Amino acid sequence: MILLFHREECPYCVKVRQFMSNNKISYTSIVSPPGSPSRKILNKLGGKEQVPFLVDTDVGEMMYESDDIVEYLQKNYVQ
């Protein structure tokens, strides 16, 4: 399962969501505005409250940075 911590208005998050949509990659959306409970989870998992943050629970992969996330998804989820 892919989890994506993001904010609706963040351009880097939009880039990742658009890539996932265009490539029909299923994910669980976790909207994480500053001060939200999901930000605490994000900080606990990754060590900072930066979005976008992707968690691939199937393999234990976690990462920040939209370009890195798109590259990872391209390599592992796009045929």
Looking at the predicted structure, is the pLDDT value of residue 79 above 90? no
> Can you give the pTM of this predicted structure?
0.94
Looking at the predicted structure, is the pLDDT value of residue 33 above 90? yes
Q: How many other C-beta atoms lie within 10 A of the C-beta of residue 67?
A: 10
Q: How many other C-beta atoms lie within 10 A of the C-beta of residue 48?
A: 11
Distance CA 36, CA 23 (A): 29
* Domain encompassing residue 49: 2-77
What CATH number did the domain enclosing 67 receive? 3.40.30.10
Give the helix, strand, coil percentages of the chain, each rounded to 5. 45, 20, 35
**Number of domains into which the chain is organized:** 1
Q: Over range 32-51, report the average pLDDT.
A: 93
Tokens 């969501």 locate to: 17
Looking at the predicted structure, is the pLDDT value of residue 75 above 90? yes
| Digit-coded pLDDT (tens) for 10-29 | 999 999 999 999 999 999 99
Q: What is the mean pLDDT of the chain?
A: 96
